[in-house]
């Protein structure tokens, strides 16, 4: 396999200049343009990250970590904000677009295992494909600059030797667990009683499904299937210690481009009865119904209010649009605003998360109810994942349509929002429709599932 190599001699010369005593810094980054994208595989172990926005012609692949700040608790976003500010103050970079730090966090201030609850990190190697151009950014701690070139060359070689993603004819079986279904329905009825009592307007209940395969899941193949089938979504993957958290989210929590801010208010779901049905046929549930519109309005108001607390010129479309992702459909309003210069992307994340799309409304009452009723969400499901660059721009998705892969095991996550008038059996069917996104991607990996067990989350 032929892989285009950087000009290592030039990289070494640039590193020497950047590390000169006259330019003190804590972290050093060098960006090199490439004529084409290297064909790297994804390592089974070690740290790696993937971010793809096919609709924006952007692909990011990172390997290793040269800076990381991990935290948890109610002050986690303040800690990440301070860590990012300190990083920017001591980050010296040369060439190309501003280098990127990745960001991921769990739904609640506790949990997130086996990932850190909240983490900001800079990869040692970052390949960026953007609108036809390709570049690689190498980063190192300033104190480790003398040996950095040798480490970069070794990392490049190891990644180039990894096999690319390969597809095998899919074989897929799974076993249902009626007890878990009944547990979800019981929680749904309890949620409707709480809503009827007037203490809360909306509650989002979640489920997890565990699958076991005959051979290990290949994260690279699953990511390729997700990005190929869901070009309008943010496809993401994070690997740590042999585990991979992967998914394709239709919902942007926050996008910052200079002073422009965008956030999706996405709630209200319809789906086709059969994944093989012609997409032109009617969905099993009407997006125009009162239940979906009320559920959506809770989210739109909350997103607009969160942005208005820090930004200027908040604008919310009068009516939602319908987003279609294969067999799933959603109501969505893209709320926009102008960001003052003293407001960071992480400031905005802290104000936006969690929206009623993933928790409920009012937020505090919904979170209290969920905690009291044993709500558990694995990894970063319904948290956030994305990146923020050295210029302050950012793109962060709500971690949806996702799963955690570990060898032959996979845990998939899905949820549904309950409001007055919800039918628990219909919400259960909605979670099944959402599970189908990851199930289809796993099937594209050629995995044959020998047995499965489903658990209430």
The residues carrying an active-site annotation are 202, 251
- According to DSSP, residue 353 is labeled P
- CA distance linking residue 211 with residue 206, whole number of Å: 17
Contact call for residues 342 and 369 (beta carbons, < 8 A): no
Q: Mark residue 275 as left, alpha or beta (left: phi above 0; alpha: psi -120 to 50; beta: remaining).
A: alpha
Bond from prior residue into 276 cis (ω within 30 degrees of 0): no
Closest CA to 427 of 207, 265, 276: 207
Burial (0-12, 13-18, 19+ Cβ within 10 Å), 139 = buried
- CA distance linking residue 271 with residue 292, whole number of Å: 13
Residues forming a β-bridge with 418:
203
Q: Please write down the HEC assignment for all residues of 127-187.
A: EEEECCEEEEEEEEEHHHHHHHHHHHHHHHHHHHHCCCCCCCCCCCCCCCCHHHHHHHHHH
Contact call for residues 401 and 438 (beta carbons, < 8 A): yes
Structure tokens at 267: 């709630």
Phi first, then psi: give them for residue 442, nearest 5 degrees: -65, -35
Under DSSP, is residue 25 helix (H, G, I), strand (E, B) or coil?
Answer: coil
Structure tokens at 178: 């009626």
Integer distance in angstroms from the first to the last C-alpha of the chain? Answer: 44
Phi first, then psi: give them for residue 105, nearest 5 degrees: -155, 150
Instruction: Kindly state the helix (H) or strand (E) to which residue 347 belongs, with its residue range.
Output: helix 345-352
**Residue 60 vs residues 51, 63, 116: alpha-carbon distances, Å:** 5, 10, 21
Phi first, then psi: give them for residue 73, nearest 5 degrees: 95, 175
Burial (0-12, 13-18, 19+ Cβ within 10 Å), 133 = middle
Distant-in-sequence, close-in-space partners of 116: CB < 8 Å, separation ≥ 6: 70, 71, 72, 104
Contact call for residues 26 and 142 (beta carbons, < 8 A): yes
Contact call for residues 212 and 451 (beta carbons, < 8 A): yes
């Amino acid at each position: 396999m032929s892989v285009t190599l950087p000009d290592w001699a030039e990289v070494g010369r640039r590193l020497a200049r950047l590390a000169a005593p006259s330019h003190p810094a804590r972290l050093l980054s060098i960006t090199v343009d490439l004529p084409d994208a290297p064909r790297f595989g994804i390592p089974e172990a070690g740290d790696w990250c993937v971010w793809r926005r096919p609709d924006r012609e952007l692909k990011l692949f990172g390997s290793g970590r040269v800076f990381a700040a991990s935290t948890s608790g109610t002050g986690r976003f303040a800690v990440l904000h301070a860590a990012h500010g300190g990083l920017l103050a001591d980050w010296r970079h040369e060439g190309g677009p501003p280098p990127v730090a990745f960001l991921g966090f769990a739904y609640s201030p506790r949990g997130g295992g086996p990932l850190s609850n909240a983490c900001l990190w800079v990869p040692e190697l970052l390949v960026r494909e953007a609108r036809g151009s390709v570049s690689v950014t190498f980063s190192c701690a300033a104190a480790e600059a003398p040996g950095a070139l040798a480490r970069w060359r070794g990392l490049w070689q190891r990644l180039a030797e990894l096999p690319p993603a390969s597809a095998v004819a899919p074989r897929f079986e799974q076993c249902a667990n009626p007890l878990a279904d009944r547990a979800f329905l019981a929680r749904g009825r309890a949620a409707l009683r709480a809503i009827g009592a007037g203490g809360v307007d909306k509650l989002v209940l979640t489920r997890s499904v565990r699958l076991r395969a005959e051979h290990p899941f290949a994260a690279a193949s699953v990511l390729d299937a997700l990005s190929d089938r869901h070009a309008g979504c943010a496809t993401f993957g994070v690997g740590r210690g042999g585990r991979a958290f992967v998914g394709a989210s239709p919902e942007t929590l926050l996008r910052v481009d200079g002073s422009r801010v965008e956030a999706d208010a996405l709630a209200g779901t319809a789906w086709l009865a059969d994944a093989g049905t012609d997409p032109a046929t009617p969905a099993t549930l009407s997006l125009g119904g009162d239940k979906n519109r009320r559920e959506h309005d809770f989210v739109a108001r909350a997103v607009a209010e969160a942005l208005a607390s820090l930004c200027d010129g908040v604008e919310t479309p009068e009516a939602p649009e319908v987003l279609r992702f294969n067999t799933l459909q959603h109501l969505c309003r893209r709320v926009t605003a102008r960001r003052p210069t003293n407001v960071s992307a992480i400031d905005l994340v802290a104000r936006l998360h969690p929206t009623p799309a993933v928790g409920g409304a009012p937020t505090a009452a919904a979170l209290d109810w969920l905690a009291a009723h044993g709500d558990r969400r694995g990894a970063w499901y319904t948290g956030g994942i994305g990146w923020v660059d050295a210029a302050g721009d950012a793109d962060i998705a709500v971690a949806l349509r996702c799963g955690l892969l570990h060898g032959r095991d996979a845990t998939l996550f899905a949820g549904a929002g309950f409001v007055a008038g919800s039918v628990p059996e219909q919400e259960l069917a909605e979670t099944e429709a959402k599970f189908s996104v990851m199930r289809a991607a796993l099937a594209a990996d050629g995995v044959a599932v020998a047995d499965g067990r489903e658990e209430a989350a």
